[in-house]
Amino acid sequence: MQQDILINWSPQETRVAIIEAGAVQELHVERTLERGLVGNIYLGKVARVLPGMQSAFIDIGLERAAFLHVADVWHRQPDGEPPAMARNHQPPVPIERQVFEGQAIMVQVIKDPIGTKGARLSTQVSIAGRLLVFLPQDDHVGVSQKIPPEQRESLRNRLQQLVGKEGGGFILRTNAEEATDGELADDIAYLRKTWTRIKDSATRVPPPSLLHQDLNLLQRVLRDLVTEDTQTIRIDSREQHAMLQAFGSEFMPKAAQKLQLYKGERPIFDLYSIDDEIAKALGRRVDLKSGGYLIVDQTEALTTIDVNTGGFVGARNFDDTIFKTNLEAAQGIARQLRLRNLGGIIIVDFIDMQREDHREAVLAEFRKQLVRDRVKTMSGGFSNLGLVEMTRKRTRESLAHMLCEPCESCQGKGVVKTARSVAYDILREILREARQFDPREYRIVANPKVVELFLDEESAHLAGLSDFIGKPISLQSESAMAQEQYDIVLL
């Protein structure tokens, strides 16, 4: 299916939308201040060696020195052996015999700084391409373990022939399972050119210096998102268009040919009401055209999607109504997975269908829609309870986790106690404190709804408690307080 890519750029945020058949299918967001360091390559300077911890602190130009452990110091392994096995043959050489204070050293960030801890580093460089990962210090050619075993050997042989005698290690990524030789050759050329540029920079700049930054979202559009079906890539920034054109011309000339500068007066995302789609993708309910709807609930462990008929009564009988709703839902669910970037375990509760042919047709449609997903998915059939279980690979944070944070009132539960429940909690708390303290008066500071309840329907209970403990109880309304929040002040 033909697609268009729209890019909305601002100094603080880059947003990318992929449009198919006039509808948004994928959204990608990157914020300048939240961009991580993982993948960045630096020419660092050894600031301190700690033999007792078998570690070294490396100055890479950040606020805090980064951390290099002896286990992350690269050693060339025997020919033909995968890099992961290199450490199992012999104990590592002590770090004090490998690095010294003041030494210039090329390192790559493998873990971002957290709290008071600096970034974690490795001296084994890996550069990710669209289809391959390049390990310039190795000669091993490998294939992702997630690709079925029966396909790995043929893919490895193909890749070995394309790599030729120029050397360097390559690992074929999961999404390259069906790549053509031409696509793989383009990726190999791009990765080798990138490594040549990194080595060149390392001989010309003083430590500490950044040698290579992992691609930003704009550049990853050309590397990862453009396909043969992409018609245009429109961007609304003249400066970024020029930068992207230069980058694309050097590394991805075919993709660069599709770049266009958007000059319209309307904001580029207004062309397809993308901001409205983002707002909908953050909600639980998704309305279907027929009148049915989906309820999407994202939890820590998994995501559940419930299908409901809603107001759809267009079919001749109830079975057909359910069948048509489920068919439309199969398409809508696949789109929501891409749009919200939901990953991990996903449970879909289609409306129960009596006929086996209806169930098979819905399942076939669902799997057909999942094939369009650039992220790897696996789905099973209907379980005994009528549920469809599937998984979708986590590639980055979901849209909701990126744009939202837990509600201060409900702390992410999605519900808050009723005003009456809070009022009863307050009455119990006053009774508890009356047994321990002897103040002159109790004052309840609470949300206006709770205070209003005490003045109206619960006034008799409040008066009864006041008589029972023999102390006056006053009320103070505080609009800044959430419904579950309250204070009991002892006067």
Domains (range + CATH), the chain: 3-35+216-274 (3.30.420.60), 41-212 (2.40.50.140), 284-400 (3.40.630), 419-490 (3.40.1260.20)
Identify the three-state secondary structure at position 456. Answer: coil
Nearest residue to 14 via CA among 5, 23, 25: 5
Q: What is the spatial distance between Cα 286 and Cα 331, in angstroms, rounded to a whole number?
A: 12
Q: What is the spatial distance between Cα 263 and Cα 271, in angstroms, rounded to a whole number?
A: 12
Biggest CA pair distance of the chain: 93
Looking at this protein, which amino acid is placed at residue 191? L
pLDDT value for 314 = 55
Q: What sections of 226-355 are H helices per DSSP?
A: 238-251, 253-256, 274-281, 318-340
**Residue tagged 């997975």 (tokens):** 337
pLDDT value for 42 = 96
Q: Sort strands 13-20 and 3-10 into parallel, antiparallel or unpaired.
A: antiparallel
Angle at which helix 356-370 crosses helix 318-340, to 10 degrees, equals 20
Q: What is the spatial distance between Cα 79 and Cα 443, in angstroms, rounded to a whole number?
A: 78
Q: What is the mean pLDDT of each run of 10 residues along the chain (491 residues)?
A: 92 93 90 83 95 93 91 70 48 87 93 80 90 89 83 88 85 81 87 92 93 88 85 95 91 87 92 89 89 89 90 67 91 93 93 91 93 87 91 82 81 84 94 91 94 93 93 92 92 88
Q: Under a CB-based contact definition with an 8 Å cutoff, are residues 139 and 169 in contact? A: yes
Contacts of 364 (CB under 8 A, 6+ apart): none
pLDDT value for 246 = 93
* Residue 346 tokens, joined: 């996903």
* Residue 66 tokens, joined: 């980064």
Element containing residue 201 per DSSP (H, E): helix 181-204
pLDDT value for 77 = 55
pLDDT value for 245 = 94
pLDDT value for 80 = 46
pLDDT value for 312 = 58
* Residue 374 tokens, joined: 């650039």
